[in-house]
Amino acid sequence: MDDVLQNIMDHAVAVAREAGQVVREALCDEKQRDVMTKSSTVDLVTQTDQRVEHLIIQSVKKKFPTHRFIGEESVAAGEACVLTDDPTWIIDPIDGTTNFVHSFPFVAVSIGFSVDKKIQFGVVYSCLEDKMFTARRGKGAFCNGEPLQVSDQEDVRRSIIATEFGSNRETETVEKIFSSLRNILNIPVHGVRGAGTAAVNMCLVASGCVEAYYEVGVHVWDVAAGSVIVEEAGGVLMDVEGGPVDLMSRRIVAANNGTVAHRIVKEIDAFSPTRDDAPPTQ
Ligand code: LIP
């Protein structure tokens, strides 16, 4: 299994790099950044998101025809978002689509790989930075081959916390997002940052640049790869109310240690978006 899994991960790295090249080329062509919308007027998608996801899936199918897929744009097109025990690729072709549309320089190809419903490896290619973040369960986390280690900071008042505002603009949701942000800021923390992509935010935690990232409203494809990268860099994952993380719940805290994680959980005004694996509404 060891060599088989490594062979699969090597393909994930290669196809992520190939996809990143497509994203960089598309950035130079306005047409390839033409905006369409999904769940709201600010939940953006482009033909490049769809093209990159197709490239990744077709490439994998050729080598691993029995594998299954959960892809952001495939789910948006109506495919089920159901995680089984089967080998499954969990793909966000462009994490940070809004950044991509605006040429804001944090755009990542995110690929997680699950067997028996457990993420076995993650690949996040921050393609404008040319940073390939990788982690395989039990084998450590790396950026361009250099080992990653979370921050050793235990005091949240000496921390930077990352979060995002998401793409839901309903009044009640926005109120909760700002309530959490206000509470975190008033701890006080050194600062709050957001790269505009969950996957890059999680890699910043794994790199020790920020102590924690939290968000309510993300999807499994945003966080699957980053989850194992954070854990293999020595970090922890948690639900926003302190229990075990559930990658389908659309709620996550990724932190350098349990002390910081539990402290920010106290400040989060939690809510429960519709789960990624919820049965489709009639
Ligand atoms: C994005 C996430 C981000 C979230 C955005 C969006 P996308 O993913 O990475 O954390 O706040 O609303 O979901 O849509 O760019 O792949």
Q: List the one residue out of 213, 262, 267 whose CA is nearest residue 242.
A: 262
Whether 276 lines ligand 1, by a CB cut-off of 6 Å, is no
Instruction: State yes or no: is 97 an active-site residue.
Output: yes
Instruction: State yes or no: is 57 an active-site residue.
Output: no
Tens-place pLDDT, residues 225-277: 999 999 999 999 999 999 999 999 999 999 999 999 999 999 999 999 999 99
Which atom of ligand 1 is found nearest the CA of 200?
9
Distance set, CA 219 to CA 24, 131, 249 (Å): 24, 22, 8
The token pair that represents 232 in the structure block? 């293999």
Cα 234 to ligand 1 centroid, rounded to whole Å: 24
Instruction: State yes or no: is 160 an active-site residue.
Output: no
Instruction: State yes or no: is 72 an active-site residue.
Output: yes
Dihedrals φ, ψ of 201, to 5°? -55, -40
pLDDT value at residue 1 = 60
Q: Is 264 exposed, middle or buried (0-12, 13-18, 19+ CB in 10 A)?
A: buried
pLDDT value at residue 156 = 98
Which atom of ligand 1 is found nearest the CA of 219?
13
Instruction: State yes or no: is 66 an active-site residue.
Output: no
Strand order in the sheet with 160-162: 191-193, 160-162, 212-216, 251-255, 236-238
Query: Which residue's CA lies nearest to atom 6 of ligand 1?
Result: 166
Query: Which residue's CA lies nearest to atom 15 of ligand 1?
Result: 96
Instruction: State yes or no: is 222 an active-site residue.
Output: yes
pLDDT value at residue 35 = 86
Whether 97 lines ligand 1, by a CB cut-off of 6 Å, is yes
Cα 223 to ligand 1 centroid, rounded to whole Å: 10
Query: Which residue's CA lies nearest to atom 11 of ligand 1?
Result: 166
Which among 90, 94, 184, 229 is annotated as catalytic?
94
Whether 233 lines ligand 1, by a CB cut-off of 6 Å, is no
Q: List the one residue out of 161, 208, 151, 201 whose CA is nearest residue 181.
A: 161
The residues of the chain scoring below 50 in pLDDT are none
Which of 42, 104, 197 most suits a substitution to test ligand 1, by most atoms within 8 Å of the C-beta?
Answer: 197
Whether 226 lines ligand 1, by a CB cut-off of 6 Å, is no
Which among 53, 72, 231, 232 is annotated as catalytic?
72
Which atom of ligand 1 is found nearest the CA of 164?
11
Which atom of ligand 1 is found nearest the CA of 194?
10
Q: Does 246 belong to an annotated binding site?
A: no
List, in order of start, the domains of the chain with CATH numbers. 2-147 (3.30.540.10), 156-265 (3.40.190.80)
Question: CA–CA separation, 267 vs 205, rounded Å?
Answer: 19
